[in-house]
A and B are shown apart, each in its own frame.
Chain A
Amino acid sequence: MKINEFTREEVFNNLVTSPAGLDSDEAKRRLAEFGPNAIRRTHRRPLALRFLEQFTHFLALLLWLAAGLAFLSEYLNPAEGMLTLGLAIIGVIVINAVFTFVQEYRAEKALEALKRMLPFRVTALRNNSELQIPAEEVVPGDVIRLSEGDKVPADIRLIEASGLRVNNSALTGESEPVGRRTDPVPGDPINSTNIAFAGTAVVSGSGTGVAYATGMRSEFGRIAQLTGSVSPGLSPLQKEIARVTRVVAAIAVVMGVVFFAGGHFTGRPFWQNFLFAVGIIVANVPEGLLPTVTLALAMGSQRMAKRNALIRTLTAVETLGSVTVICTDKTGTLTQNRMAVAKLWVDEELVEPSAPVGSETHRLLFTAAGLCNNARFVDGEYRGDPTETALLRASREALGGLDAKRFYEVPFDAERKMMSTMNALQHGTVVLAKGALERVLPLCTSIMDNGRSEPLSAERRDDITHAYHVLMDMGLRVLAFACRPVTGDAAADAAAEDIEHNLVFLGLMGLQDPPRPEVPAAIAKCRQAGVRIVMITGDATRTAVAIARQIGLATERPVAIDGQTFSLLNDRELKQKLGERELLFTRMTPKHKLRVVSMLKQQGEVVAVTGDGVNDAPALKRADIGIAMGLSGTDVAKEAADMVLLDDNFATIVNAMEEGRTVYENIKKFITYIFASNIPEIVPYLAYIIFRIPLPLTIMQILAVDLGTDMLPALALGSERPTPGVMQQPPRKPTDRLITLGLMARAYLFLGPIEALACMFGFFWVLRGGGWDWGRDISSLDPLYLQATTACLTAIIVTQIANVFACRSLRESIFTIGITNNRLVFLGISVEILLQLFIVYHPVGNAIFSTAPLPAGTWLVLAPFAVLLLAAEETRKYLLRRTSPA
């Protein structure tokens, strides 16, 4: 037995309390045992420790190692500027750590939003007297008084209620206030009508109840706990970067060891070999990769913001591109949330709502729609729940404003799925009822046909059910209406069962929530992109299926699972169902979403889920991409989400996915670009050790490329526009790699060697031109040597300029995609050239990077290598297009 199933006496016995409340000593004892009634953070490692963790992940450790080696080299060979290198690497580690930490810290704000939803003070009964106590001091067993406008401080089992209605929207997302009762109710407490939940608000009436769960043990606390505990895990991009880091580390270390051993066997001194190994490792580590990826994601998020998708966690930008399943709400996201009455079934006919009101039945139908309704028409505006305002509008348009005294109301609640009112009409008092057909029809004993009340035969019931199905198949949300003339006194405190009986069936109204016009195209785009869409709605199955057909979500025979069936499915059965191509979840509540998302993730899917209520927060956090509604969403949902839709529109998700896929493509482009420059950084070291020549490129010069000149052009590649086919290919598989053999071969075996050729040519061109002969030692301070290394560096810059254009596409010719349509590329190249001019010609640049000014002729000698690289790349692309058409 659960708390909702107990009688009043059992409630007191079970909670060891009494109608007089707890005494203050017992309350103190319970406060000490159960803790304050507050939302708190789940136990986590201290903030400082989590910040420190940002310095100990694999890439950070790799960079620490590189910095340590640089400092060691500085100690062994002070003139090489290794100290600056070491400090620069540490700078990269710190910037990345701070950035990642800030992102993680921001994600925790969802809990702060939850905390704001609990009240500050409440009225409790202690020692049989009413006291105002801080909400934090409420303990299990406290007797709490509730009245209109109060926020409920804890989960409370009601023992007295007078017209008590609460708004559970903070918890369930349902905006309609629901009535509360006190009698025992079987089933799960969450669906029980005799419980008021923490964080919800009393809309009307008053009541008294006993608190049985406080703080983190309340339903609200459960959501807070899940919101604070569940983590989406690493994003696909983070996983890939981690993997790339390990691959690069392995390559760097293996190369370092191999060449250390090579140097040893060719008779070089130990420390020279050691420095050489350090150089190889530092040249291999892509120091600029993380900052460039981060900036590219930031730029992607800006582009998405322009398309109404506000990104809250940067990695979400790329994760969007790899989404394989979108779990989406219907109302407001796929549809416009603008309810309107679209069809009526009255006097056994389907009619338009604008048709003239002919019969008494027709008139009573609109009367019931207008009076059994809590929406209001105030100052020329309809206010209230979208369904109710639609009914009120239809009624006003048909009959004009209605004014009839209401004696009584049996409020709507999700379990009963109906409401009733008792009103004084011209010809007497009448009970008016509306609700789901399966609730209203069993309460009817007759039907009104052209103003005459006739017995409701089985045949007529079949006709009504048939009409109900017809309307639902049109994608309409269908409500049934009934009435009953009241004979005798109108009992003001009548219970539902006292007035909801012997009803006369009036007819049906079908309400339409039109699909958003952009949605069918967006869904078609998702289909082309291989992304499955799972609709999760509170609507009935037939309505949901019909809407799904209208918007192109269902083309075959979709599998629809309603909330009740869903609860009965075990994990294995649910996993099987989740594999269906066209899947709808109907009559669902937000609480079911977390399970759907978790199961999909367990099946290896990359899941995006939409949500707006507090109860959606755990699912939003659990999903790879949590998407909150900007217009209708609660603060808690927005704080828990990775992305906020500023227009609540499904099409915006698809646009954001397109951007996400583009970002991933672009990251591949600039990784190729960055990796290509590793070869001209490594080859000079190889030549230095193997051929015993002066070192053609210093480590500081390598750093000038990795963290300086390469950065902006790489970023420019990160802002390339979507290619036409980006949404016509399936989502990236989890097994697809950011760095593939093809990418490595292109960067390391094709583009890189051309650049290496250029830089070695530049180095020897200057040395030979200055009179250097093969085998002769040259001082590292000799102006000729400084000029030669500068030429080597300049050759890398010149060929990297051509490489930017080469990397703008994998297959298409630069002349096809357009040379000038990415202006950022030109900005990046301009900055790159300016930086290089500073390094080559400014005394400060010369001092930092051990460079010397070059004559203009040297630049001209190097320029043909840029042309060579572009021409070679165009030839490769041409051959690729010929041999492997897209």
Chain B
Amino acid sequence: MYRKILTAVNEHVNSEVAARYAKHLARITGARLLICSVREPGQPERSFDLAREAAKRIQHRARELDIEAETIFTGGRPLPAISAVVRSEGVDLAVVATRRKDVRRQFNARSLRSRSVLLRLPCAVALVHVVHLGRTHPSEILVPLKEHIKDIPSRAFFTAMTAKAFGAKVHLFHVMRPLRTFFQGEVHLRPLEEEGKLAPDLSRFINHLDGYHVEHERHLAPGVAGKSITIEAASRRRDLIIMGASERGIIDFLLRGNPMEYVLRETPCNLIILKTRD
């Protein structure tokens, strides 16, 4: 499904860590790895040197793993430059690291680089938020799933390939809105009743995952999505979270917030936000 995977590298260590995920995905899918570094106008020489060194390191290690890898150095503003490479090379997936300053601001509400990357790159995008350098080889992957999942085949494929690349176990996690009544308040559901409320999209996702023979386990929990996801990841020491890049409309966002925003800010482990292009 992925023939060409692009990873963007700059002078920051998190871009190099993000590139490792791309490298392993390329290995497992047999894709060609394009390591792209963009020299921005006015960027100091030293800064670009660091990016170049990082790109070389990644290429070197990719070749050690028998991955067909190529470095592309280009210039201009990062997003248009990367977009151009994606178009000209026919890239299927771009793996890009976020910056902390992006995450600290309102990710959903403002026009930021990371969000622009998700929305504007003409390919699937895996936005990697690196927070933990000790867990870059995940063995436990948390995959939060909503009731309605877009692009199930693509998401399942990405999840399965990431898990296979690292020999990791997948923990599917669905946060259910607590059942409330006017007089009784929150109603406690027994596990069997919870199972009964499992959305059809979740079952479809699981079926796809089964097709790739990936070890997985299912967890259900009532609560508020963003908070429950970070608590689950922290309490069970998950190494990586893979989330879909669903966005909420502005009214929905103002009323209920966005779980992705919360997870981006509070994630205890590295996080990949996947935007598919089906």
Chain B proximity mask over A18-50: 1 for CB below 8 Å, otherwise 0:
000000011001101111000000110000000
Chain A proximity mask over B205-228: 1 for CB below 8 Å, otherwise 0:
000000000000101010000010
A836: interface (CB < 8 Å): no
Chain B nearest Cβ from A772, distance in angstroms: 44
Are B134 and A3 in contact, CB atoms less than 8 angstroms apart? Answer: yes
Chain B residues within an 8 Å CB radius of A225:
230, 234, 266, 268
- Bound-state CA distance A25–B44 (Å) is 13
Are B235 and A33 in contact, CB atoms less than 8 angstroms apart? Answer: no
Are A34 and B234 in contact, CB atoms less than 8 angstroms apart? Answer: no
Given contacts A29-B11, A33-B100, contact A230 B134 (CB under 8 A): no
- Bound-state CA distance A441–B67 (Å) is 49
B199: interface (CB < 8 Å): no
A243: interface (CB < 8 Å): yes
Nearest residue (CB) in A for B13 is: A16
- Which B residues between 240 and 278 are near A, CB-CB below 8 angstroms? 262, 265-266, 268-269
| Interface size counted on chain A using CB atoms at 8 A | 53
- Bound-state CA distance A802–B30 (Å) is 87
Q: Which of B101, B135, B221, B262 lies in contact with A32, CB distance below 8 A?
A: B101
Q: Which of A34, A43, A226, A595 lies in contact with B262, CB distance below 8 A?
A: A43
Are A140 and B11 in contact, CB atoms less than 8 angstroms apart? Answer: no
Chain B residues within an 8 Å CB radius of A230:
231, 235
- Bound-state CA distance A27–B144 (Å) is 33
- Bound-state CA distance A265–B223 (Å) is 48
Q: Which of B136, B139, B184, B236 lies in contact with A14, CB distance below 8 A?
A: B136
Chain A residues within an 8 Å CB radius of B230:
42, 225, 229
Chain B residues within an 8 Å CB radius of A68:
none
Q: Which of A16, A32, A188 lies in contact with B100, CB distance below 8 A?
A: A32
Chain A nearest Cβ from B135, distance in angstroms: 7
Are A243 and B185 in contact, CB atoms less than 8 angstroms apart? Answer: yes
- Which A residues between 209 and 255 are near B, CB-CB below 8 angstroms? 212-213, 216-217, 221-222, 225-226, 229-230, 233-234, 239, 242-243, 246-247, 250
B204: interface (CB < 8 Å): no
Chain A nearest Cβ from B265, distance in angstroms: 5
Chain B nearest Cβ from A122, distance in angstroms: 18
Given contacts A43-B262, A229-B231, contact A15 B100 (CB under 8 A): no
Number of A-B contacts (CB under 8 A): 105
Chain B residues within an 8 Å CB radius of A603:
190-191
Nearest residue (CB) in A for B231 is: A229
- Bound-state CA distance A32–B99 (Å) is 9
- Bound-state CA distance A157–B236 (Å) is 21
A819: interface (CB < 8 Å): no
Q: Which of B100, B182, B188, B191 lies in contact with A575, CB distance below 8 A?
A: B191
Are B16 and A571 in contact, CB atoms less than 8 angstroms apart? Answer: no
- Bound-state CA distance A140–B132 (Å) is 8
- Bound-state CA distance A666–B46 (Å) is 74
Are B183 and A243 in contact, CB atoms less than 8 angstroms apart? Answer: yes
A496: interface (CB < 8 Å): no
Nearest residue (CB) in B for A240 is: B185
Chain B nearest Cβ from A252, distance in angstroms: 14
Are B188 and A33 in contact, CB atoms less than 8 angstroms apart? Answer: no
Nearest residue (CB) in B for A230 is: B231
Are B235 and A43 in contact, CB atoms less than 8 angstroms apart? Answer: no
Q: Which of B54, B134, B185, B234 lies in contact with A229, CB distance below 8 A?
A: B234
- Bound-state CA distance A30–B64 (Å) is 27
Chain A residues within an 8 Å CB radius of B137:
1-2
A507: interface (CB < 8 Å): no
Chain B residues within an 8 Å CB radius of A3:
133-135
A594: interface (CB < 8 Å): yes
- Bound-state CA distance A213–B188 (Å) is 38
Are A212 and B265 in contact, CB atoms less than 8 angstroms apart? Answer: no
Chain B nearest Cβ from A572, distance in angstroms: 7
Chain A residues within an 8 Å CB radius of B11:
29
Interface-central residue, B183, B217, B235, by most chain A CB under 10 Å: B235
Chain A nearest Cβ from B152, distance in angstroms: 24
A510: interface (CB < 8 Å): no
A87: interface (CB < 8 Å): no
Chain B residues within an 8 Å CB radius of A16:
13, 16, 54
Are B268 and A2 in contact, CB atoms less than 8 angstroms apart? Answer: no
Given contacts A243-B185, A246-B183, contact A157 B134 (CB under 8 A): yes
Chain A residues within an 8 Å CB radius of B81:
none
Q: Which of A189, A234, A618 lies in contact with B134, CB distance below 8 A?
A: A189
Chain B proximity mask over A530-547: 1 for CB below 8 Å, otherwise 0:
000000000000000000
B7: interface (CB < 8 Å): no
Chain B residues within an 8 Å CB radius of A234:
185-186
- Bound-state CA distance A42–B227 (Å) is 10
Nearest residue (CB) in B for A576 is: B191
Chain A proximity mask over B9-47: 1 for CB below 8 Å, otherwise 0:
001111010000000000000000000000000000010
Chain B residues within an 8 Å CB radius of A239:
185-186
Are B183 and A247 in contact, CB atoms less than 8 angstroms apart? Answer: yes
Are B13 and A30 in contact, CB atoms less than 8 angstroms apart? Answer: yes
Chain A residues within an 8 Å CB radius of B13:
16, 26, 29-30, 33, 140-141
B79: interface (CB < 8 Å): no
Chain A residues within an 8 Å CB radius of B227:
229
In the A-B complex, the 9 residue pairs with the smallest Cβ-Cβ separation, listed nearest first, are A212-B134, A3-B134, A140-B133, A1-B137, A217-B132, A16-B13, A212-B133, A213-B134, A33-B100
A residues bordering B, Cβ < 8 Å?
1-3, 14-16, 25-26, 29-30, 32-35, 42-43, 140-141, 155, 157, 188-190, 212-213, 216-217, 221-222, 225-226, 229-230, 233-234, 239, 242-243, 246-247, 250, 570-572, 575, 594-595, 598, 602-604, 618, 734
Q: List 5 A-B contacts (CB under 8 A).
A: A3-B133, A155-B134, A226-B234, A230-B235, A602-B221
